[in-house]
Amino acid sequence: MKVKKRWIIIFLTPAVLLFAFVYLTSLYILVTTSFTDLTAGGGGNFVGLKNYIELFKPASEFWSVLKNNVIWVLLQSTVHVYLGVIVALILARNKWYTSLVRTIYMLPNIISNAALGMLFIFILNPKFGLINNTWRLISGNDAYMQNWFMDPKTAFGSVTMTWLPYAGITAILVMAEMTSIPDSIYEAAIIDGASQLQINMFIVLPLMRNIIGTTTILAASNMLQKLDIILLTTSGGPGTRTTNMPMSIYRTALIDNNYSLANAQGVFLILFGLVAVLLIRKIYRMNENILG
Amino acid sequence: MKRILLSMAAVVTAIALLVSGCTKAPVSTEPSQGTNKETAAADKSTNGPVEVTYATFRVGAHVQAPGEKIMLEEFNRLYGDKIKLVIEELPSDDVYVNKMKALAASNSLPDVFDGKNGVRELAIANGTARNLLPYLEEDPEWKKYVGDMAIKANTNEDGNLYSISYSQRIIGYYYNKSMFEKAGIKPAETWEEFMSNCEALKKAGFTPFANATGENAWTVNLLLGAMIGTANEAGNKLMNEKPVTNFNTPEVINALENIKKILTDYSNTDALGAVYANAANVFCQEQAAMIANGPWMVGDFTNPEKSVEGLDQRLGVALYPNKGIYSEYDPGFVLCAKDDNLEEALTFLKFRTGPFSQKTFLETAGSLPLTNNIELSEEFKAKKPLVVQHLELASQAEYKFKTLDVIADSSVIDSFAKLYPELVFGEIDAQTFAQKLTDAVYRQK
Amino acid sequence: MQINKIMAKTISAIFLLLIVCVSIVPFLWVFASSFKSNADIMSAAMGFPNGLKFINYKNAFKLAPIDKFYINSIIVTFFGILLNVTFASAAAYVLSRFSFKGARFLTVMLSMGLFIPGAALLQPLFQIISKANLSNSHAGLVIVYSALGLATTLYVMISYFKTIPKELEESAYIEGSGFVNTFFRIILPLTRPALSTAAVIQFLLCWNEFQFALILTSDNNVRTLPIALYYFKSSFASDYGAMFAATILVICPSIIVFILLQKQVVRGLVAGSVKG
């Protein structure tokens, strides 16, 4: 038993040290500087809650930023995840095209965000972009002109579409889990006269609850990291219509040089992420597992 | 839930304990001398070349990348045995500014670097930028090539000089002569004529302007600045003061209304949100009659990869209405070297801003030299008449002013790309636009 | 009944087709653009009016130090995966197998990385890595990437260890096998699918990460591939053709790695998620 204890410590130490070195120290800096007036040019004096008050005063732009981010988290943890689940259900139980479609669906997740951003800029270009050109061809209206990313009415939706359909990771996670369902369950259901839809609805999906919860957490937390693609397509505009929290942090730190205010947003973003994860776990009644 | 919160509280306490125990004062502002400096000092004692750190964004597809390469090669040829340049390449202007800000915040800026887009101001704020006036006084030959005008333009409020320019920027606008001919117009003398010219071009079936509001809204902001700078004395003063603190003036609001008209009716249909490259392509492919930009673009007009054949023959360059033109000096290079390699860093700074570099960048990238001491060769004049015309126009101008990129800070410049679409789609009016620009001034730290 | 079945089949076929189109268009577009001239890309011309530009690939190597960055990316990615997977699976094994005081606390703490956004850590990490004299080194990047992927790998590994019956080890112990021996000889080989899953996810992180790579390095002998993509875009001149050629050069290894490992990945996740 003594030996085992020693080995437990030896096995844990590297990961804990790594975590402490990278995360704990930076979190410490992040939290402490959020109570100072640190800027790119200097500063660093304690100012109490000033940054947080600034952030949440009624006229602050941060409210609309927060609203955008909440909507994106909601969309991503519903539509995006369901899309991935539907693809998984269709592809389940190895068909000849399963592996091909799975690889293709993963492609957008493999291509770097910088390249994806450029691509959407060109595809949605109002003058010569693929979408507008196609619509002109179909509708016969040569004067059709929609500036998808810059029109205040379509900007948010257009940015959303750069990530919402690409649920490759969700799909492979769910598919993997589905292969663990014994064939006998399917066979029994078919003998009982259940349709494919009924099997999916009443047998497969309930068994998938855990993995769907997990992918929802992954998808939602991903929405708290999105930056490159927004930067390249709309850089958060028009106004603040497509600004999310990472974008706002980026701007506050690197455009406005206001590091302490950016760090206050960082602290808030982490707390926001924590709350989101806990909520998702509650909703999907996920088993007690590693997230406690 | 409760348990998780308790665990989280424990985690946070653990962080605090761990960090305060292990790393003392991780946010200290004491100047952290990088390892570079230590090795530099060591090298000096062993008589090896002394290291000088330098950061550059003039790499890859940048217009000045070829010139930069020639400049560096020549420097290494002349001084390579005594000075070793340690170069950090920062591809693209945004990447450069972002990294320099991060370096400024931790007091680890390179010995020599370009101080554009507010980087110089950060180096002044953290006290690492050196006053260069004494060094200029010691070296009359160098001072001659920098010139009094550039020195005056870059002198700080405190009377010190924290950067040395390397080129002057003169910016008018290019126009397509054959399109102008077909529309029966000539470059406008007044802004009313300018707008009616646009209408005439549109009637003749041309897109009057190649514009782009993305990134720093370069081409559109050149028009905006020219309208403000030539409106009257007050407008001209605004376009020459640094930093601007108030955009709520009649000149700005009036100019914004004109810009709204230009973006709505007289620009390429993808101007909103487009980047400079799109606007340049529209103009170079002869899909628009005008573009506002400087002499560095001239090389593109003869490049078959970028322009339709013979385009350079059909182009002219003009003063903005009311005889206006942009005339300014690049902020230039800042010296942040510590004492142990100051002499060597200064040698590089002198070379980087001196006659060889000025001449090299003139010939390879159309950067105009600081003084008349660099003469333009006949061959160059014959090859690039549009560059020479820029210089001639500058001597005829009555209103001179600076670009918004130089007089306004990054918070303001960043706002334009987000506000132009709102203006054009009628979400905000020109007055609100101007107010939001003024607000942005106060966001900058 | 029969009609319903056909309807369902048609609808799902259309749906799949749509998904495939939406996913493959970006890749094909980037691929085609890598052979186009700048002017063709910017007018979104169909086909190649100015001819196929194989020179884009040559220009990509000429304008950016892609060859150097390739080597650095391989080094950083290899060690980033090695360190991450070794550390995380060792910790995951202990945390999922033995109950001891603080086990729960440690698992919660180590999985925090899942919802801490990288953007928020940029500036603090820059300070820490500089202080530790790790800036501008492969080691600095390897450490940061290993840590960034810690939570995900830990999660994959813990759930997989949970599916392996405890009896396996117990019988090993009875036969006199030591702790370390049991882990390396008996348990670890069984988790090969989970290990490759974690490796692929970690691969994508190390291979594509840009912000930290830029901030934490300054020397071209250390920098990684994603930085190369920015050599083609500057304020007054851009070479989009070369940029997309470079993008293809960056994507290819990722696709190959995914295709090679996808069977393993899926198996890994299957067993790993049987009991979440």
For the stretch C122-135, pLDDT in tens is 888 998 999 999 98
The rounded distance, in Å, linking the Cα atoms of C227 and C246 is 11
Query: Does the pLDDT of residue A292 top 70, yes or no?
Result: no
CA-wise closest residue to A173 among A245, A87, A231:
A87
Chosen for mutation from A16, A17, A28 (greatest number of chain B CBs closer than 10 Å) is A28
Within 8 A by CB and 6+ apart from B233, the residues are: none
DSSP codes of every residue in B109-165 = --SEEE-TTTHHHHHHHTT-SPP-HHHHHH-HHHHHHH-HHHHHHHB-TTS-B--B-
| Chain A CB contacts of C111 below 8 Å | 290-291
Cross-chain residue pair C108–B11, CB shorter than 8 Å: yes
Q: Which helix (H) or strand (E) holds B293?
A: strand B290-293
Chains in touch with B (3+ beta-carbon pairs under 8 Å) read A, C
Residue C204's pLDDT band, with cuts at 50, 70 and 90, is confident
- Residue B16 is predicted with a pLDDT of 40
Cross-chain residue pair B218–C235, CB shorter than 8 Å: yes
Tell me the residues of chain B between 4 and 33 that have a Cβ less than 8 Å away from chain C.
Answer: 4, 7-8, 10-11, 14, 23, 26-27, 32
Q: How many CB pairs under 8 A join A and B?
A: 130
Q: How many CB atoms lie within 10 A of CB B81?
A: 10
Amino acid at A18: L
| Chain B CB contacts of C127 below 8 Å | 26-27, 106
Q: Residues C38-70: pLDDT tens digits?
A: 888 877 667 788 888 899 999 999 999 999 999
Q: In a 10 Å sphere around its CB, with 0-12 CB exposed, 13-18 middle and 19+ buried, how is residue C68 labelled?
A: middle
Question: In this complex, which of C109, C232, C236 lies closest to B60 when CB atoms are compared?
Answer: C232
- Residue C178 is predicted with a pLDDT of 85
Residue B272's pLDDT band, with cuts at 50, 70 and 90, is very high
Task: Look at domain A63-283 and name its CATH class.
Answer: mainly alpha
Question: In this complex, which of A43, A147, A254 lies closest to B101 when CB atoms are compared?
Answer: A254
Chain mean pLDDT for chain B:
88
Within 8 A by CB and 6+ apart from A154, the residues are: A146, A147, A148
Query: Does the pLDDT of residue A142 top 90, yes or no?
Result: no
- Residue C222 is predicted with a pLDDT of 95
Q: Which of A56-70, A272-286, B122-136 has the lowest mean pLDDT?
A: A272-286
Question: In this complex, which of A27, A87, A119 lies closest to C26 when CB atoms are compared?
Answer: A119
Residue B284's pLDDT band, with cuts at 50, 70 and 90, is very high
Cross-chain residue pair A15–C100, CB shorter than 8 Å: no
Residues C93-101 have a mean pLDDT of: 86
Residue B15's pLDDT band, with cuts at 50, 70 and 90, is very low
Question: In this complex, which of B27, B414, B418 lies closest to A29 when CB atoms are compared?
Answer: B27
Token digits for B11?
A: 């985690």
Q: Residues B60-118: pLDDT tens digits?
A: 999 999 999 999 999 999 999 999 999 999 998 889 998 999 898 888 999 999 999 98
Distance from CA of B34 to the nearest CA of A (A): 18
- Residue C263 is predicted with a pLDDT of 72
CATH number of B37-167+330-375: 3.40.190.10
Cis peptide before B243 (omega within 30 of 0): yes
Token digits for B244?
A: 């601007």
Query: Does the pLDDT of residue C34 top 50, yes or no?
Result: yes
Within 8 A by CB and 6+ apart from A245, the residues are: A65, A66, A69, A224, A265, A268, A269, A272, C117
Query: Does the pLDDT of residue B23 top 60, yes or no?
Result: no
Question: In this complex, which of A128, A235, A255 lies closest to B411 when CB atoms are compared?
Answer: A255
Query: Does the pLDDT of residue C219 top 80, yes or no?
Result: yes
A231 touches chain C (CB under 8 A): no
Question: In this complex, which of A41, A125, A258 lies closest to B125 when CB atoms are compared?
Answer: A41
The rounded distance, in Å, linking the Cα atoms of B131 and B112 is 13
| % pLDDT > 90, chain A | 43
| Chain C CB contacts of A119 below 8 Å | 26, 29-30
Q: How many CB atoms lie within 10 A of CB A277?
A: 21
Residue C267's pLDDT band, with cuts at 50, 70 and 90, is low
User: Could you give phi then psi for residue B85, rounded to 5 degrees?
Assistant: -80, 125
Question: In this complex, which of B7, B8, B281 lies closest to C42 when CB atoms are compared?
Answer: B281
Cross-chain residue pair A24–B268, CB shorter than 8 Å: no
Higher pLDDT: B148 or C8? It is: B148
| Chain B CB contacts of C236 below 8 Å | 62-63, 276, 280, 296-297
The rounded distance, in Å, linking the Cα atoms of B25 and B20 is 8
Residues B158-173 have a mean pLDDT of: 95
B215 touches chain C (CB under 8 A): yes
Distance from CA of C188 to the nearest CA of B (A): 30
CATH topology of domain B169-328+389-443: D-Maltodextrin-Binding Protein; domain 2 (3.40.190)
- Sorted by where each begins, the domain ranges of chain A are 63-283
Q: Which of A115-124, A162-171, A185-194, B23-32 has the lowest mean pLDDT?
A: B23-32
Query: Does the pLDDT of residue B194 top 50, yes or no?
Result: yes
The rounded distance, in Å, linking the Cα atoms of B135 and B359 is 22
CATH number of C56-273: 1.10.3720.10
The rounded distance, in Å, linking the Cα atoms of B189 and C20 is 57
The rounded distance, in Å, linking the Cα atoms of B260 and C139 is 52
Q: In the 3-class helix/strand/coil scheme, how is C220-245 assigned residue by residue?
A: CCCCCHHHHHHHHECCCCECHHHHHH
A70 touches chain C (CB under 8 A): no
| Chain C CB contacts of A128 below 8 Å | 43-44
How would you classify residue A36: left for phi > 0, otherwise alpha for psi between -120 and 50, otherwise beta?
beta
Query: Does the pLDDT of residue A35 top 80, yes or no?
Result: yes
Residues A262-267 have a mean pLDDT of: 92
Tell me the residues of chain B between 249 and 308 that have a Cβ less than 8 Å away from chain C.
Answer: 276-278, 280-281, 285, 296-297, 300, 305-306
Q: What ipTM was assigned to the predicted interfaces of this complex?
A: 0.89
Query: Does the pLDDT of residue A133 top 80, yes or no?
Result: yes
Residue B335's pLDDT band, with cuts at 50, 70 and 90, is very high
Residue of A nearest to C193 (CA): A176
Which of A109-118, A249-258, B419-428 is modeled with the greatest confidence? Answer: B419-428
Residue A180's pLDDT band, with cuts at 50, 70 and 90, is low
| Chain A CB contacts of C86 below 8 Å | 14
Query: Does the pLDDT of residue C142 top 60, yes or no?
Result: yes
- Residue B8 is predicted with a pLDDT of 40
Within 8 A by CB and 6+ apart from A86, the residues are: C15
Tell me the residues of chain B between 53 and 92 that have a Cβ less than 8 Å away from chain C.
Answer: 55, 57, 59-63, 65, 86, 88-92
Query: Does the pLDDT of residue C96 top 70, yes or no?
Result: yes
Distance from CA of C221 to the nearest CA of A (A): 22
Q: Which helix (H) or strand (E) holds B175?
A: strand B168-176
Residues B55-59 have a mean pLDDT of: 95
- Residue A289 is predicted with a pLDDT of 47
The rounded distance, in Å, linking the Cα atoms of C238 and B310 is 22
The rounded distance, in Å, linking the Cα atoms of B149 and A285 is 72
Query: Does the pLDDT of residue C184 top 90, yes or no?
Result: no
Q: How many CB atoms lie within 10 A of CB A17?
A: 12
Q: Which of A111-125, B170-184, B300-314, C73-87 has the lowest mean pLDDT?
A: A111-125
Residues B138-158 have a mean pLDDT of: 93
Chain mean pLDDT for chain C:
85
Distance from CA of B211 to the nearest CA of C (A): 14
Higher pLDDT: B390 or B305? It is: B390
Chosen for mutation from C111, C210, C212, C233 (greatest number of chain B CBs closer than 10 Å) is C233
Cα–Cα distances in Å, from C61 out to A113, C31, C229, C232, C246? 21, 17, 11, 11, 8
Residues B172-176 have a mean pLDDT of: 97
- Residue C114 is predicted with a pLDDT of 77
Q: How many CB atoms lie within 10 A of CB A16?
A: 17
The rounded distance, in Å, linking the Cα atoms of C199 and B266 is 54
Torsion of CA B373, B378, B382, B385, to 10 degrees: 20
Chains in touch with A (3+ beta-carbon pairs under 8 Å) read B, C
Cross-chain residue pair B269–A292, CB shorter than 8 Å: no
A145 touches chain B (CB under 8 A): yes
CA angle C138, B102, B42 (to 5 degrees): 60
| Chain A CB contacts of B105 below 8 Å | 38-41, 259
Question: In this complex, which of A21, A22, A119 lies closest to C30 when CB atoms are compared?
Answer: A119
- Residue B5 is predicted with a pLDDT of 40
Query: Does the pLDDT of residue B32 top 50, yes or no?
Result: no
Cross-chain residue pair B61–C131, CB shorter than 8 Å: no
